[in-house]
Amino acid sequence: MNLIRIGSKQAAGVVIGPVFAILAALVAGGIILLIIGFNPLKTYYELFSLGAGTYLGITESLKRMAPLLIMSAGLIIVFKAGVWNIGGNGQFLIGAVLAAGIAPLIMDKLPIFFYFVVLGLLGFIGGASWVCIPAILKAKYEINEIIVTMMMDFIAVNFTSYLVRYPLNAQPGLFPQTAVLPIEKRLPNISLTEVHIGLIVGLVMVVLVHYFIKRTALGYEFRFAGENKKAAIYAGINIKKVIVLAMLLSGGFAGLAGANDVLGIKGSFQAEWNPQYAFSAIPLVFLARFNGFAVIPLAYFFSFLSIGGEFMSRAANVPVFFVQVAEALMLIFFGVSEYLKKRSKLF
C-alpha cells in the first residue's frame, strides 16, 4: 500500500512538474502575445492545429523529432554526469558538414546500408571532435566547459561557412552549398509513411542511452559523478574519464543529429544553415528530468510546436521566434517548478 502510494506519487511528480512548466510558459507566452497585439487563443489554436492537426504537420513534426531525440540522448549523458555541453549547435553543424562533404564521394562506392552507417559514424566523429578541446581543458585544467563549448559553437559556424563557401562548394557562383544528394541516396522512409528512418534511430538512441545510464556500470559512474563529485572521487571513480567520455558522447550525438538532417531532410549543407536544435533540446531534457522515456513525448511536443511555428509564420504573421521564446520560458518555469516542488512537497 505504502509502496503503491510512493510509486504513484513519484509518477505524479514526474508528470506534474513538466506540465506545470509548459502551461505556465504558455500562459506567460500568451500574455506576451496579447501585449504585442495578437489573440493568444487564436494563435495557440493555429499553432497546435497546424503542427499536430494536419497530415503534413504530423509528418513534419515526426521528422523534426529525429534530431531532437538524438541530441537529447547526448545531453542526458552529459547532464547526468554533471558536465555542461551547451555548444550542441556547433557540434551539429560539424557533423552535418562532414556527412554532407563525404557523402557524394562514397555514395557510389559503398552498399547503401554501409554508406549510411559510415556517414552516421562520420557525423558522430565530427561532433565528438568538436568537444575534444573543451573536454580535455575541463578534465585536465578545470577550465569552464560552458564557456569553451560556447566559443567552439561560434568557431563552428564560421568554419562550416568557410567549408561550404570554398572547398565543398558544389556550385561556385551560385548560392553556396555542398553537392545535393539524389533522393535514392537519402534516408528511406518508414514503410507506409513519409517519415524517414531517422526517427527510429532517434527513438533507439534515447532508449539505449536511458538504459546505459540506468543499468550499466559506466552509466552508474556517470550518475555518481554527476550527483556527488567529491564522493565519486573518494569512491575511486576516474572523474576525468567520466568528463571526457560524457562530453565526447554528447558531442557525437549532436554530430549524428547533423548527419541525420543532411541525409534525411536537406540532402546537402547550405550556407547560413543553422537550425539551433540545441536551444530546444536543452529545455527539453530538463523538462524530461534526464529521463529517456519522458524525452520522447516531450520531443514530439517540441517538434509540433516548432513545426506549427514555422507553418504559422507563413500563414499568420506570428514569427517563428515566438516558439523560441516559449521554449526559453519553459526552461525558466521548469526551474520554478523545482522550487515549488521543494517548497510545497505537493508533487
Contacting positions for other proteins (CB under 8 A): 32, 36, 84, 86, 133, 137, 140-144, 146-148, 150-155, 158-159, 161-162, 165-166, 279, 282-283, 286, 317, 319, 321-322, 324-325, 327-329, 331-332, 334-336, 338-339
Interatomic CA distance for residues 277 and 95, integer angstroms: 13
We find the least distance from the C-beta atom of residue 196 to other proteins, in angstroms, to be 28
Nearer to other proteins, 20 or 107 (CB): 20
Residues 6 or more apart whose CB falls under 8 angstroms from that of 196 comprise 63, 66, 186, 187, 188, 189, 190, 264, 265
We find the least distance from the C-beta atom of residue 325 to other proteins, in angstroms, to be 4
We find the least distance from the C-beta atom of residue 322 to other proteins, in angstroms, to be 6
Nearer to other proteins, 120 or 309 (CB): 309
Q: What single-letter DSSP state applies at residue 264?
A: I
C-alpha cell at 151: 566559443
We find the least distance from the C-beta atom of residue 265 to other proteins, in angstroms, to be 23
Interatomic CA distance for residues 65 and 199, integer angstroms: 6
Count, residues in the chain: 347
Q: How many other β-carbons are positioned within 10 Å of the β-carbon of residue 7? A: 10
Nearer to other proteins, 52 or 331 (CB): 331
Nearer to other proteins, 259 or 340 (CB): 340
Nearer to other proteins, 66 or 329 (CB): 329
Interatomic CA distance for residues 255 and 260, integer angstroms: 9
User: ∠ CA(319), CA(320), CA(322), 5° rounding?
Assistant: 80
Instruction: Evaluate whether 87 touches 78 at the Cβ level (below 8 Å).
Output: no
Nearer to other proteins, 148 or 232 (CB): 148
Residues 6 or more apart whose CB falls under 8 angstroms from that of 174 comprise none
Nearer to other proteins, 86 or 259 (CB): 86
Interatomic CA distance for residues 279 and 86, integer angstroms: 8
We find the least distance from the C-beta atom of residue 334 to other proteins, in angstroms, to be 7
We find the least distance from the C-beta atom of residue 173 to other proteins, in angstroms, to be 17
What would the DSSP string read from start to end of 1-51?
-HHHHHHHHHHHHHHHHHHHHHHHHHHHHHHHHHHTT--HHHHHHHHHHHH
Nearer to other proteins, 197 or 247 (CB): 247
Residues 6 or more apart whose CB falls under 8 angstroms from that of 154 comprise 90
We find the least distance from the C-beta atom of residue 161 to other proteins, in angstroms, to be 5
We find the least distance from the C-beta atom of residue 14 to other proteins, in angstroms, to be 18
Interatomic CA distance for residues 187 and 180, integer angstroms: 14
Instruction: Evaluate whether 232 touches 60 at the Cβ level (below 8 Å).
Output: no
Nearer to other proteins, 109 or 345 (CB): 345
We find the least distance from the C-beta atom of residue 231 to other proteins, in angstroms, to be 17
